[in-house]
Chains A and B, each alone.
Chain A
Amino acid sequence: MKLTSIIVDDEPISRSFLERYCEKIGSVTVAGSFPDSETALQFLQKNEIDVLFLDVEMPGDSGFQLLDKLVVMPKVILTTSKTEYAYDAFQYNVTDYLKKPFSYVRFQESVSKAFESLDDKKDAVKVDKKEDVFIKSDGKLTRLNYEDILYIESVGDYVKYCTPDKKYITHSTLKAVEEKMNNQQFMKVHRSFIVNLRKISNIQEYTLLIGSSLIPISKLLKTEVMGRLNLAV
């Protein structure tokens, strides 16, 4: 297995250094190398990666400001020449903290950590391989792919499955749906809503946006939601 990564650092020699280390280790592919947070964000909005090698101090947005803008968090390995960001690194739940300049051995350790943490995630996903659900709506059974479901809303004795094209109403409870769709991709964020975590565009306080729908986040579940997205509260 290979990890897909990007490198974000304003210093060109530091970037090329990491590129060379990734090439040397063989298990890490560099999908992009960016001199600032803004260009990296553009890439991350369109592409999924496993590992983000991230400098902190850069012109424009800092590395932490970039993390604030990500909805789905890859494994983050901070690469900085300062130790004073350790507390922030902890808050952002980063996988490792490489103090520049670092040796090849130290880099190898860091990549191992990324593999280990991704293995944990993979094991969790293995538990639920199911990728679709049949729902009874309008007198027929319809197969919905998980990837097509934006969110599920409780409406009295019914639940409403919302997809980009259509809404399907079926007689059920959110609790039953939650049990049936025991999947890493979905999470109950409010007593009336289960959302597809991959479809969240942004989060603001106690509201999240999926498509054009604003969905409330329960105060009690906010920490858990942020944790599932690898975001610090």
Chain B
Amino acid sequence: MNPEVFVFNSKLDGDFLRSIYEDDKEHAEMVFEKFLKTIRVQMNEIEESYTGGDTEIFRRQIHKLKPVLSFVGLTGLTNKAAIIEDKCKEAAATNYLKDLYIGFKNELTEMIPVIEDDLIKLKA
């Protein structure tokens, strides 16, 4: 995956993606595909744990997703996940993290089509 040949969507962290995939386009394609296959299920699980109210269960779900977001270039969302994870330790219940979580969830939802587009380009 020569960076001169493949250019990731500018909404994704291209520098970071190049550092992890280098010239391995097939690897990037495989990870983007796996991410898209599982992300909705993971988001549902996170939503359920948020609704359940237990901050520790919610924190674990966020923690699990956190590095995966960077694997598809969503490094900003990895940082936001880290903030939510930290705040979980102080919050009495998940609804204290409502603004952070809703912002995170909306941004992630908006980015899914971007990743879908790049997967199509990676496969081309």
Contact = CB atoms under 8 A, between A and B. Distances in A.
A54 to B, nearest CB: 14
Given A12-B34, A12-B38, A101-B78, A17 B60 contact: no
Contact of B38 (A13, A82, A102, A103): A13
Contact of A104 (B20, B68, B82): B20
Contacts of A14: 67-68
A11 interface: yes
Main secondary structure of the interface of B (DSSP, over half): helix
What band does the interface of chain A fall in when counting residues whose beta carbon is under 8 Å from B?
Answer: 10 to 19
A100 B27 CA distance: 17
Nearest to A99: B67
B24 interface: yes
B7 to A, nearest CB: 19
A101 B70 contact: yes
Nearest to B35: A13
B31 A13 contact: yes
Given A16-B30, A104-B20, A57 B60 contact: yes
Interface of B: 16, 19-22, 24, 27, 30-31, 34-35, 38, 60, 63-64, 66-68, 70-71, 78, 82
24 contacts: A11-B68, A12-B34, A12-B38, A13-B35, A13-B68, A13-B71, A16-B30, A16-B31, A16-B34, A24-B24, A24-B27, A59-B60, A81-B78, A100-B66, A100-B67, A100-B70, A101-B20, A101-B67, A101-B70, A101-B71, A101-B78, A102-B20, A103-B19, A105-B19
Interface of A: 10-14, 16-17, 20, 24, 57, 59, 81-82, 100-105
